Structure 1
Amino acid sequence: MFSPKRMLLLSDLMLLAVAVVWGTSYGVVKSALHFYPVLGLLTIRFGATFLILSPALRPLRAANARTLRGALMSGALLLGIFLCETFGILLTRAANAAFLISLCVVLTPIVEWSLLKRRPSRVEWAAVILSLSGAWLLTGDGALSLNAGDALILLAALLRALTVCVTKRVMRDSTLPPLSVTAVQSGVVAFGSATVALLLAPRQWQAVPPLVGHGAFWGYVAYLVLACTLFAFFAQNFAIKRSSPTRVSLLMGSEPAFGALFACLWLGERISTTAWVGGALIVAASVLATVRWPAWRVRAASRA
């Protein structure tokens, strides 16, 4: 048995590993897209995930209609997220994608205000302003420019924020294990990507690259399935139960930095000083929005 201190250290290391894995995923996806188009890649990635997690579908037999609708709805939103995110990665720098997707953290309070009627706090408003300033510096190096890929990543960030709030509303009474929900979501993303390709973009539906001669592509797919999906979800669930929200936020907030660093080292992307400053502001805003600030809350409560 591990001591509580060692368990805390293990959970921190696992969260840091998740941040590294998710950060590097943008560069890995961009590399995989050199071999296979977006919709085909999503079909393979999430189809494989669905097959691996298929034993976790057994609890669906006892699930009611409301729970099933909630799982399917969250899967549909996830499909939208990955369509925007993956096409966005194709059209912009992996470093931009890593930083911009983290805007979902500060967009969530605004979406929550619209859907769940919870007014954002002053700290959350400050985080929104800080993150928007960072996005302005990052996407145009201080100029008013936004390419199509950046816009798609921003839309994916907004959809992530919407997914958090919708899932909280429709899955509030769900009794399904998280792994079962992940399996359903993976199936929806795989089936949805294949359907969109067949009906709307047949050129995206190409012959699957053979294993012989395309080892790099299948290595990318294996990394996305095993590390970025299966390991990351397990590690996050394991660590959150054993760590404080502040520690979780600080460790996960490093994901965009790892993404940008990996894009520089793996893809050779060049990031200007202005863009690094913008990315740093986005990371800082994410930490500001998610960390609990007891002293500030006490002062705010005393003024109320």
Structure 2
Amino acid sequence: MENNSVRENQPSPLKVYSFLILTTFFWGGSFLFNKLGLKEVPPTNFVFIRFLLASVIMLIVCSTRLRGLTLDIVRRGALVGLALGMTNLMFVFGVRGTSISRAGILNNMFVLFIPLVCALVWRDRVGRANMAGIVLAVVGIWLLASGGAGFNQGDLISTLCAAFIAIHIISVSKVLRNDDVYLISLVQFITVAIMSGTAVLLTGSHVYSISQTGILSLVYCAIFPTVLCFTLQNRYQRYTTPTRAGLVYTLDPVWSLVAGFIFLGERLGTREWIGCGLIFLAVLVPLLFRLIVEWRLRERYKE
């Protein structure tokens, strides 16, 4: 009876993938709004204000759950929050220094960094599919470097950001337990706010004026790609495999490319398009390989 009840409460695949695709749309949109906001607000200030707002919103959402906040949740959430903080600080400096089209593609390389980090720290095997993806990514980056404005500082920081995205994803898997996802998110957001706030103090005071566009950018980034997307991801990703979720998340750079093309007039040269295509393929190859392996194992299990 219990199993039947769980199955009845489980959302349909259409609902699961619809919400996961929606998260990629909001994440892709964050490239555009970060780019617009960073024209007025310094990077560290932007991250600080964004996560301060997100922390306040999540605190309101968690008002009835705060009794469940334990020292262990604070420790684990803060540890994962450190990786999230580095990710977002790298993200804003990367987006500020390059086009959102290139940043979106380069950030998506987190899929390739995950097995590399696991191999370095836990001596996990990288695998042929991942190695093939890495080779394709290197060739793609070389083409990006030889086309357009070349491989600039923003591109490098966006690539490093992909590594920190991978570290954040791994830390979620390795550090977190069956904790309240809302409280964990709250602790992570507060940790990032503290990190970025400290960075603001260390870099000195910045005088800047902010327009309606800047305010809209901050509000969008605090609500949609932060509070809403974390909640949707934690709510629905559990109903699919990591491989299939990874394939859905490869839509992120598609939305950033579309946003850059429509709203910012960004255009890529031939070499840049080929380079971006190879990097995109580099991400897809390992994911598709894992999907095939999953499918074969499921077929064997049926037999």
Q: Same fold (TM over 0.5)?
A: yes
Once the two structures are TM-superposed, the CA of residue 89 in structure 1 deviates from its matched residue by 0.9
Say which SS state the counterpart of residue 202 (structure 1) adopts.
coil
- 2:22 matches 1:49: no
Say which SS state the counterpart of residue 137 (structure 1) adopts.
helix
Aligned counterpart, 2:99? 93
Aligned mates of 1:233, 1:239 — CA distance in 2: 10
- 2:130 matches 1:133: no
> Equivalences for 1:167-246 in 2 at 5 Å?
167-171=172-176, 174-203=177-206, 206=207, 209=210, 214-246=211-243
Aligned mates of 1:43, 1:8 — CA distance in 2: 36
Once the two structures are TM-superposed, the CA of residue 14 in structure 1 deviates from its matched residue by 1.6
TM-score (norm 1): 0.84
> Equivalences for 1:81-160 in 2 at 5 Å?
81-141=87-147, 145-160=150-165
Aligned mates of 1:58, 1:208 — CA distance in 2: 36
Tell me the C-alpha RMSD between the 2 structures: 2.7
Aligned counterpart, 2:42? 37
Aligned mates of 1:13, 1:169 — CA distance in 2: 27
- 2:76 matches 1:70: yes
Once the two structures are TM-superposed, the CA of residue 268 in structure 1 deviates from its matched residue by 0.9
Once the two structures are TM-superposed, the CA of residue 244 in structure 1 deviates from its matched residue by 4.4
> Equivalences for 1:242-281 in 2 at 5 Å?
242-281=239-278
* Cα displacement string for residues 243-277 of structure 1 (whole angstroms, at most 9, x for unaligned residues): 34454233221211221121111111111122122
**2:74, 2:184 within 8 Å by CA — same for their partners in 1?**
no
> Equivalences for 1:7-22 in 2 at 5 Å?
7-22=12-27
- Range moving further from structure 2, 7-16 or 53-62: 53-62
Once the two structures are TM-superposed, the CA of residue 4 in structure 1 deviates from its matched residue by 9.8
One-letter amino acid matched to 1:271: L
* Cα displacement string for residues 162-216 of structure 1 (whole angstroms, at most 9, x for unaligned residues): 2333443333xx342222221111111112111111122322xx4674xxxx322
CA 208–62 in structure 1, closer or farther in 2 if over 3 Å, else same? farther
Aligned mates of 2:16, 2:231 — CA distance in 1: 11
Aligned mates of 2:69, 2:24 — CA distance in 1: 34
**1:87, 1:149 within 8 Å by CA — same for their partners in 2?**
yes
How many residues align structurally? 286
Aligned mates of 1:114, 1:243 — CA distance in 2: 27
TM-score (norm 2): 0.84
One-letter amino acid matched to 2:188: Q
Aligned mates of 1:131, 1:296 — CA distance in 2: 26
* Cα displacement string for residues 209-230 of structure 1 (whole angstroms, at most 9, x for unaligned residues): 4xxxx32222212211221112
**1:7, 1:242 within 8 Å by CA — same for their partners in 2?**
no
* Cα displacement string for residues 91-125 of structure 1 (whole angstroms, at most 9, x for unaligned residues): 11111111101111101101101112211111111
Aligned counterpart, 1:302? none
**1:30, 1:94 within 8 Å by CA — same for their partners in 2?**
yes
- Range moving further from structure 2, 119-128 or 134-143: 134-143
**1:11, 1:238 within 8 Å by CA — same for their partners in 2?**
no
Aligned mates of 1:178, 1:290 — CA distance in 2: 26
